[in-house]
Amino acid sequence: MPDPTRRPGESGRPGESGRPGRADRGARRARRRRIGLVAAGVTVGVFAAATGRLIVWPGRDAPEKADAIVMFAGTPGRLGHAVSLARQGYAPVLVVSTPVPGEGCPPRIPGVETICFRPDPLTTQGESRETGRLAAERGWKKIIVVTAVTQTNRARLRLRRCYPGQVLMSPVTVPPWSWGYWIAYEWGAMVKALVWQRSC
């Protein structure tokens, strides 16, 4: 027979009211916390893997005979590497981006034509546009591109939109102390190239 003194929702056992107890609420909070930590760990892992693949260890190509060597401006070491490739005879033309006023062309290399240009805009997009224009004008089918290792995939993406020929990426590393800056910069620049600037 029902107990007329029992309130709705009570189980009839001492100390039980039918509502979740503190232990149950604590267990749910702990479970949500674990799920949140796992999700955060997965997110960090995916971001780290993508950073490694796209920015830290991008694909690079062995240099081979090409129509031109093109150097995108930026971190130290690029010009020396580009000149070295030209001196080794990988291409008869060396193209150097010089966005900063006062930057001159490298010294003349015997047997190599040197072209220096100021990109418009003063970005990787401007450098890719000028490269595409020169390639169309001169009939280049294959180029070697010298840039920073962090910029490799973004430069390849930009060039693919402006130049239909073969691109061999020959990047140089960045100073050890600057990795944090360049990783952050490249993520921002990559998002811009993929979302807002999707044409040549």
Tell me if the pTM is above 0.85: no
Query: Residue 2 falls within a domain, yes or no?
Result: no
CATH number for the domain including 102?
A: 3.40.50
Query: Residue 31 falls within a domain, yes or no?
Result: no
Query: Residue 73 falls within a domain, yes or no?
Result: yes
Query: Residue 147 falls within a domain, yes or no?
Result: yes
Query: Residue 138 falls within a domain, yes or no?
Result: yes
pLDDT tens, the chain, 200 aa long: 555 554 554 444 444 455 556 667 766 776 777 766 565 565 656 555 666 667 878 888 999 999 999 999 988 899 999 999 999 999 999 999 999 876 778 999 999 999 999 999 999 999 999 999 999 999 999 999 999 999 999 999 999 999 999 999 999 999 989 899 999 999 999 999 999 998 99
Query: Residue 15 falls within a domain, yes or no?
Result: no
Query: Residue 3 falls within a domain, yes or no?
Result: no
| Domain count across the chain | 1
Query: Residue 19 falls within a domain, yes or no?
Result: no
DSSP track, 59-127:
--------SEEEE---STTHHHHHHHHHHTTS-SEEEEE--STTPPPPPPBTTBEEEEE--SSSSHHHH
100 lies in which domain range? Answer: 68-195
List Cα–Cα distances, 31 to 42, 45, 149, in angstroms.
17, 21, 42
CB environment 92-109: b (16+ within 10 A), e (fewer): ebbbbbbbeeeeeebeee
